[in-house]
Amino acid sequence: MDRVAAIIPAFNEERTIGDVVGAVRRCPLVDDVIVVSDGSRDATGWAARQHGARVIELFENLGKGGAIAAGLGATSAQFILLLDGDLVGLTRQHVEDLLRPVLAGTAAVSIGRIKRDFIQALFPNFSGQRALRREVLEAIPNLENTGFGVEAVLSRHLKWSGLHACTVSLGHLTHVPKQEKHGLLRGYVAKFKATWQIAKWSGRIGRAKA
């Protein structure tokens, strides 16, 4: 049985997914790399396979929470590494730094911090870069319906459950801006949608329940 599995939800990330998969596969702590192509209309799945990932192709876009749930259902690994598919500059060292606190048992979850990240500046505990024990994800009701709010739901669960989390600085790591991926207008719309979902699941809008 695999001990550590990486789950990488990705939507139209053909330009970056290969480098992300390659960096994860260079880390000896990771046994399985799963890319969930979340209704992608480009060659995300093909690029991920070319770099050695196991790929789950979703025929419709389920959102980030749905993609993570699909990946979790495809592995029995005890420890899960979550990474975004649009990372630039990911290294083996970043992966090891995220995993070590959880594998050593000093934290139930490690949360990666990226400098100059707009959404993380608004929501400090929001990060697509996490390592955690499997049961933390399994304890989230309706994980598949949380969309971009999945990290907010995870952070809220940690607070309520009293589980210990640590933060890990991921230096020289960035994302491809949504405006660059989707164009100026669509990029800002995508960023607004993601921010709204995070705020909703954080409890800042209405009374969203996990």
pLDDT band at 146 (very low <50, low <70, confident <90, very high): confident
Give me the residues paired with residue 82 across strands.
7, 130
Global confidence as pTM: 0.84
Q: Is the pLDDT of residue 74 over 70?
A: yes
What's the whole-number mean pLDDT along residues 16-43? 98
Q: Please tell me the least confidently modeled range out of 9-18, 189-198, 199-208.
A: 199-208
User: How many percent of the chain have pLDDT more than 70?
Assistant: 79
Q: Is the pLDDT of residue 2 over 80?
A: no
Alpha-helix runs per DSSP H in the chain: 17-25, 44-50, 64-72, 92-103, 118-122, 134-138, 150-161, 178-182, 184-202
Span 4-202 CATH architecture: Alpha-Beta Complex (3.90)
Higher pLDDT, 138 or 190: 138
Going from the C-alpha of 25 to that of each of 85, 91, 101, 148, the distances in angstroms are: 14, 10, 19, 25
Is residue 190 within 8 A of residue 178, CB to CB? The reply is yes
What's the whole-number mean pLDDT along residues 185-207? 52
CB within 8 A of 93, min separation 6: which ones?
Answer: none
Give residue limits of the domains in the chain.
Answer: 4-202
Higher pLDDT, 177 or 196: 177
Tokens, residue 202: 């954080």
When the pLDDT of each residue in the chain is averaged and rounded to a whole number, the result is 86
Tokens, residue 157: 């669960």
